[in-house]
Amino acid sequence: MFQQGDELALSYFYHEFLPALSLYANKWIEDFSIAEEISSGAFLKAWKMHEKLDSYNAIRAYLYKIVYRDAMHYLRKEKRRNSVEEAVAVPDISFNSPYDHLIRTETYRLIHSALKELTPGSQRVIKMYYLEGKSSVEIAEELNVTPGTVRNQKKQGLAMLREKIKENFLFHIWSFFIFLYSA
């Protein structure tokens, strides 16, 4: 019945598997509401594939596979989000001088400026990966390219960012010290 698109079958599987799938996801996520959300999302994905799921075991296996994959994706996304937040976090201290604020502002400006200098492909991949938290596979699907292309664009983009930031940062630090000592 599920394979034919019967909504009663979907409801049956939802009530049958949601509690177990949520506990399964919670093993990794350790936040039951998020685990339940991931599990609920698995049913939507299974429903889109209902024509290919021809047995009880196929449906169950597909649901567990999707929950595992989505839980791992969530953890990777959280890890990336946390590392990006830590990298760009402004310490919770008051500025000791106008120079502290100037340096911090200039650093953010340099990063933003360096991002604009990347090729459009690398720029898009860097933003999707680091700011939106998407995986290389998701980016590849969205941009209709291979995951290898995504990895190459990310690698090239990061190398260019490092170089641009290093060049500009050293120049601005040198200028800043000249300004300080000439005042």
CATH architecture label of 93-182: Orthogonal Bundle (1.10)
**Exposure class string for 53-66: b at 16+ Cβ within 10 A, else e:** beeeeebbebbbeb
The CATH number of 7-83 is which of 1.10.1740, 3.90.25, 1.10.10, 1.20.120?
Answer: 1.10.1740
Q: What is the pTM of this model?
A: 0.47
pLDDT digits 0-9 by tens, 8-66: 777 787 888 888 888 889 888 888 889 999 998 988 888 787 677 777 788 888 888 99
Q: Which two tokens stand for residue 80?
A: 């990336």
Return the closest-CA partner of residue 102 out of 163, 180, 164: 180
Q: What's the rounded Cα separation, in Å, for the pair 47 and 53?
A: 9
Residue boundaries of the structural domains of the chain = 7-83, 93-182
pLDDT digits 0-9 by tens, 102-128: 666 666 677 777 788 888 988 898 888
Q: Do domains 7-83 and 93-182 have the same CATH topology?
A: no
pLDDT digits 0-9 by tens, 152-175: 998 898 888 888 777 766 666 666
